[in-house]
Structure 1
């Protein structure tokens, strides 16, 4: 059964900040991963088409498919893990979330659905207008 993770995109003020950070990681390390201290115990469910849903400014905004999860020990002897991600960011319906630390499991039944493909010119709408239209169920 598919299971997802939900994670705060710390210090990101928009999706562009997440893109910039991940571009830096990919260029520096040659692959895209997110490092976390806690190793998920439900790895098989996460690798069964699971995604990481990113919370930006208290709302889930985008997701990325989880490709692999690898434990390792850092230079200080602390156990950590890399969550390897597909570089494609998939926009989701925005879903409000309260602040939390670390990551949380997100059952597939609670995950927001992906946004429909945008028509040409739709990407020119300001973020606040998109949010209002989505709240009204028009986007």
Structure 2
């Protein structure tokens, strides 16, 4: 099973702007300072995007390439797949996410707007109401 990672979509104002960036070209490229130690396990896995304190979508990881400036490029398939939102605290950089802990993809008849926002879902979860 491939390994996944989470990352905050800090420049995106919402799911639509994230989708526009990811699906703009033949590949989406994300820069990171350090190569993940377990990068070989991550090829074929997904990068799960965090917006408004919730994991909301994912992109398949195609590979990793070193840049001239010493940083690394994470190459992503140019398709944003919405997932069932799951509360996730903000963090810097990226974090590993095991396949068993990853949220499921939304079904074709589901819409990301049909579920509660991340912050509200997190608060209701802590209260034991969801």
Global fold match (TM > 0.5): yes
Within the candidate set 39, 45, 64, 2:41 is matched to 45
Give the alignment's TM-score, normalised by structure 1: 0.75
Aligned length: 118
Contact 2:22 2:80 in 1 (8 A): no
- Distance change in 2, residues 1:106/1:57 (3 Å): same
Task: State which structure, 1 or 2, has the greater radius of gyration over its C-alpha atoms.
Answer: 1
CA distance in structure 2 between the aligned counterparts of 1:65 and 1:102, rounded to whole angstroms: 18
**Deviation digits for residues 65-101 of structure 1 (CA, Å, limit 9, x no counterpart):** 0011112232xxxx21111111111111101111100
Give the alignment's TM-score, normalised by structure 2: 0.80
Describe how 1:1-139 pairs up with structure 2 within 5 A. Answer: 1-23=1-23, 26=25, 31-47=27-43, 49-74=44-69, 79-118=70-109, 127=113, 130-132=114-116
2:71 counterpart SS class:
strand
List alignment gaps of at least 5 residues for structure 1.
Answer: none
Contact 2:47 2:59 in 1 (8 A): yes
CA distance in structure 2 between the aligned counterparts of 1:35 and 1:106, rounded to whole angstroms: 19
CA RMSD of aligned residues (A): 2.1
1:44 counterpart SS class:
helix
CA distance in structure 2 between the aligned counterparts of 1:87 and 1:99, rounded to whole angstroms: 24
After TM superposition, the runs of 4+ consecutive aligned structure 1 residues lying more than 6 A away are none
